[in-house]
Structure 1
Amino acid sequence: MESNQKHQTQNTGEIKEIYPVDLPDVDYNSLCLTSENILSSLESNTYTGENWFIPSIGSKVEVTLDNVGRLEVFGDDPPCTLLALHMPADETQVVALNLHGKWWPLNDVLKTSCKSRSGLVTVLSVMERLILFLLSQIIFGVLERPFMEDMYFSPHPMREFGKILWLNGEAVGFYTIKKKGSLCDGCTSQSYQLPVLDTVFVRTQWRRRGLGLQILADFCTSLPNEKVIGLSCPISPSMIKVCRKFLLTNQDQRDRLYEVVAPGAWDQRRNIWLNIQLNYSANSEALPGLESGCTKAKVV
């Protein structure tokens, strides 16, 4: 069963694939309402949609109440539910998502046929926000999570600033920023005292291509008027390597980049270049206040 749609362009007659992010945008309310209606129909045996989903690889999966689960896109605030079809008895193995009235393979949701969607693109639409969620919670959180990895990302708030990295029609990574003045979380009145690069991720098969450097450079150049900018503490060993390579060739950024514990007061910052020169690792002595930091997300 082919889940993606095809569209013939008027000018060239070329037939191209259409993916969820290329279709008219949805809104959060209709997304939640559709999800609840589908679950209700599955519970009452009145579901009239596709009964089976056939992935490109693997066995077909029946669309039943037991095989459909809720994904909370923003945690609990605000509530927003996306339905996922998973393998029987294994909720971690998501094979499809319900969008625009049909089940789409996970990989297709992360694709685009729009040629202008290339490089680092700011997250603006609901579908782009859902892709950010899938990359952080499903791709990194489950499918590409290294064995014994204890680093994770908390769900990003609905208004978190982020960019998705698009290459060859695929979403291959992202980064998010805690803006200066934004609240650390919903449990405190503290706010960030500087912009902070909070989460970074590049998909496994796209690593070692300089994309981490591209992301870090984009972050730095996007804030030309900020004298000091930060990266969330603790910084992973792989990101330390990216920082070192970046700062070796961008000496003007050495005094700007700090490892930061929220909210980022001066006693909660440590200069990254100085750390590297002193041969500190990502597992070195924690900054003061690390245990009481406002964010659980980490740079990877």
Structure 2
Amino acid sequence: MNQDNIGLLPLFDDDECTPSLVILHAPGDETQVVAVYLHRKWWSVDEVLKTSSKFRSGLVVVGSIMERIVLFLMSQIVFGFLERTPGEHLYFSPHPMKEFAKIFWQDGEAVGFYTIKKKGTLCNRWTGQSYLLPVLDNVFVRMQWRRKGLALQMLEDFCSSFPKEEVVGLSYPMSASMHEVCRKYLQIHQEQRDRLYEVESPGDWSQRRNVWLKLQLNHHPTNSEAHESEQLGMLEDRRDRGAERGLMRDRM
């Protein structure tokens, strides 16, 4: 261990001074995070993603700084590098400090998460526009727990969390796998077919596409088409090409 394989990662995507996480990466490869320094001790990523709390089961709202660290590790390290799907070209930006999120805990381990842009939340820090409806922004399930219905449970939880909203949204662009999750959800919950929309921020009616209608017209992307849309610059500001600008923001 030396200065060359220790780095700092900012935890939040905020203008204000943000705390950083001290990480240890493999020599010569900043993408291979080996350990995280917490409570004066080095921990593997897998160790940090586990809990002994009996209250952490199912979907739990992120509240504590430790839960924020778990969310960061899943979005930036696990999804970003350790469990990337071959051919995947999307990256999650670090979430703002006050971003609403839920972590899916199962058998004492963090196995997934989702984040929401609440109605009235600023779209970004460069404009004064705010979201006009609640939007499911990021959804992630770790590789070992995929194809077990967890993404479907998260979508159901999101939609049921806003019973007074006539319309709820999913951030554009939706992946091919998310289209399939939506198909299953809307086949089960037919009453939601007029309520669920794919939206671009801030989400006025000209920026909304009904998900069920889109599925019926087969207007959903394959993985290769999603990659092409990225090359055309159609990805949102919230998804960042972290690999291109380098994982390490600061060096010790």
* Contact 2:90–2:239 (Cα < 8 Å) also in 1: no
In structure 1, the partner of 2:77 is 138
Which of 65, 86, 91 is 2:3 aligned to?
65
In structure 2, the partner of 1:16 is none
Give the AA of the match of 1:265. Answer: D
Q: What root-mean-square deviation, in Å, do the aligned CA atoms of Structure 1 and Structure 2 show?
A: 1.8
For the pair 1:88 / 2:27, whether they are aligned, the reply is yes
Within 2, Cα distance between the matches of 1:184 and 1:73? 19
* Contact 1:165–1:171 (Cα < 8 Å) also in 2: yes
What are the ranges of 5 or more consecutive residues in structure 2 without an aligned counterpart? 241-252
In structure 2, the partner of 1:126 is 65
In structure 1, the partner of 2:126 is 187
**Alignment deviations for residues 27-50 of structure 1 (CA, whole Å, 9 cap, x no partner):** xxxxxxxxxxxxxxxxxxxxxxxx
Q: Compute the displacement of 1:150 (Å).
A: 1.0
For the pair 1:239 / 2:178, whether they are aligned, the reply is yes
Within 1, Cα distance between the matches of 2:67 and 2:217? 40
Within 1, Cα distance between the matches of 2:182 and 2:13? 31
Q: Which moved more, 1:77-86 or 1:180-189?
A: 77-86
In structure 1, the partner of 2:169 is 230
Count of residues in Structure 1 that have an aligned counterpart in Structure 2: 232
Closer/same/farther in 2, CA of residues 122 and 114 from structure 1, 3 Å limit: same
> Which SS does the other structure have where 1:127 is aligned?
helix
> Which SS does the other structure have where 1:244 is aligned?
helix
Q: Compute the displacement of 1:71 (Å).
A: 0.9
> Which SS does the other structure have where 1:241 is aligned?
helix
TM-score of the pair, normalised by structure 1: 0.74
Percent sequence identity over aligned pairs: 61
Higher relative contact order (CA 8 A, sep 6+): 2
* Contact 1:262–1:294 (Cα < 8 Å) also in 2: no
Within 1, Cα distance between the matches of 2:21 and 2:234? 32
Q: Compute the displacement of 1:77 (Å).
A: 2.8
- The 5 Å alignment of 1:207-222 reads 207-222=146-161
- The 5 Å alignment of 1:2-151 reads 62=1, 64-75=2-13, 77-78=15-16, 79-151=18-90
**Alignment deviations for residues 41-92 of structure 1 (CA, whole Å, 9 cap, x no partner):** xxxxxxxxxxxxxxxxxxxxx2x21121111111453322110011111111
Within 1, Cα distance between the matches of 2:151 and 2:43? 29
**Alignment deviations for residues 205-240 of structure 1 (CA, whole Å, 9 cap, x no partner):** 100101011000000111111110000001000010
Closer/same/farther in 2, CA of residues 185 and 250 from structure 1, 3 Å limit: same
Within 2, Cα distance between the matches of 1:292 and 1:267? 18
In structure 2, the partner of 1:281 is 220
* Contact 2:21–2:37 (Cα < 8 Å) also in 1: yes
Within 2, Cα distance between the matches of 1:110 and 1:189? 36
- The 5 Å alignment of 1:162-173 reads 162-173=101-112
Which of 255, 267, 271 is 2:210 aligned to?
271
Closer/same/farther in 2, CA of residues 254 and 94 from structure 1, 3 Å limit: same
Give the AA of the match of 1:71. Answer: L
Q: Compute the displacement of 1:292 (Å).
A: 8.9
Give the AA of the match of 1:116. Answer: F
For the pair 1:256 / 2:195, whether they are aligned, the reply is yes
> Which SS does the other structure have where 2:55 is aligned?
coil
Which of 231, 239, 243 is 1:296 aligned to?
239
Which of 201, 214, 221 is 2:140 aligned to?
201
> Which SS does the other structure have where 1:176 is aligned?
strand
TM-score of the pair, normalised by structure 2: 0.88
